[in-house]
Structure 1
């Protein structure tokens, strides 16, 4: 029976894991492409409607289920890991200096935000180029303060577990960062694809240095929290990036 690395195509558990992961990849990468090509209905709607928060929270909850569920399923079905082993392999358990790693994460996030806004401002001054991120604006204005916290937490945990904890360990820093940016293609904004790639590289290096996924989770959380807060308070002025 053919085997590919740890995957045995004669093992029903492995086949199930492949099916689950393939469905997750289609959801994470395939649907954004279809949305980008306008082959399915997009998620950008007029801002300010109260029922939009429910839609955003449902979407982020589904994203979390798909990303974390597919990773946990793979590690359980293919590697036969128990919960402790799964958390350990994702660098969420038995890690050292978590508080220091989180400080590094927040610092990296602030460094990235300042750098990106300086670059975007310079590009605008020199060329007049500017892209409005309507989807980020819609998300920020649709959420209550509690909703902002929930979205920031779920997005940080789910995306870091999937892209850094799982993918980067298997395909490497740069491919994982590229896929992280590619997953944002449904924003239909070139900045929204390039910025996550750069941020993904920074997060990947951070994980390599700290060997602690809480460093990248804290960076991702703080970035989204600050962005959504600014969008809610200042509206479109800070809506150019949301990761």
Structure 2
């Protein structure tokens, strides 16, 4: 299964890979909207999950992101490269993107995934199920025990932050910072390689 996925990805052009990424996150937003219609009593119940508490957003979201980024950098430095091998997908995604496009990709991923997994699923099914579903949806990580463990722990960590703050803007900001900064690191490392 892993080899089949790698072959499919190799056949895609960078533009096709990026389009698939954006389409996936548009689908996640549409799924969030449909599920939200059925699961929330009204729109205001959903919109209460977004609170502009700048200190919480910046301090808690930023601190959470810093912890995750430092852990990932430490893992990249200390562990064999095979532990970080997702079949080259992240490198393919970020290596060819400009820095403004990395910003947009990170933002779209953070918004769509946090609305669905924290805002809709966690709000209605709880931390355990939302975190497990989040980890499984990141399909390419299923074939590497370290990446799967990493994404699962990350999901529980972000879910716990949502439990503590009850504010999607905190988790969106943390998720965005993680993806944006690590995306830049992947781009720089990918360009250094070749």
TM-score range, shorter chain: 0.7 to 0.9
- TM-score, normalised to structure 1, is 0.67
Q: Give 1 or 2: higher helix fraction.
A: 2
Return 54-63 or 225-234, whichever deviates more: 54-63
What is the rounded CA distance, in whole Å, between the counterparts of 2:47 and 2:31 in structure 1? 14
How many correspondences in the alignment?
191
Deviations 1:139-195 (A, max 9, x none): 111212222111000000000111111111222212211221111122543333221
Work out whether 1:87 is the aligned partner of 2:44. Answer: no
Q: What residue in structure 2 maps to residue 111 of structure 1?
A: 67
Q: What residue in structure 1 maps to residue 19 of structure 2?
A: 58
What is the rounded CA distance, in whole Å, between the counterparts of 2:155 and 2:127 in structure 1? 8
Question: 1:164–1:207: 8 Å Cα contact kept in structure 2?
Answer: yes
Cα distance, 1:37 vs. partner?
7.3
CA separation of 1:178/1:74 partners in 2, compared to 1, >3 Å: closer, same or farther? closer
Q: What residue in structure 1 maps to residue 158 of structure 2?
A: 203
CA separation of 1:163/1:108 partners in 2, compared to 1, >3 Å: closer, same or farther? same
CA separation of 1:237/1:177 partners in 2, compared to 1, >3 Å: closer, same or farther? farther
Equivalences for residues 1-243 of structure 1 within 5 A: 36=2, 38=4, 42-44=8-10, 52=14, 54-77=15-38, 79=40, 81-82=42-43, 84-88=44-48, 91-92=49-50, 95=51, 97-119=53-75, 121-124=77-80, 130-133=83-86, 134-187=88-141, 188-235=143-190
Question: 2:61–2:171: 8 Å Cα contact kept in structure 1?
Answer: yes
What is the rounded CA distance, in whole Å, between the counterparts of 2:11 and 2:184 in structure 1? 20
CA separation of 1:56/1:145 partners in 2, compared to 1, >3 Å: closer, same or farther? farther
Deviations 1:204-238 (A, max 9, x none): 11111111111111111001111111111222789
1:227 partner SS = helix
Consecutive unaligned residues of structure 1, counting only runs of 5 or more, are 1-34, 239-243
Q: Which has the larger radius of gyration?
A: 1
Return 214-223 or 36-45, whichever deviates more: 36-45
- TM-score, normalised to structure 2, is 0.82
- Higher RCO (CA < 8 A, seq sep 6+): 2
1:42 partner SS = helix
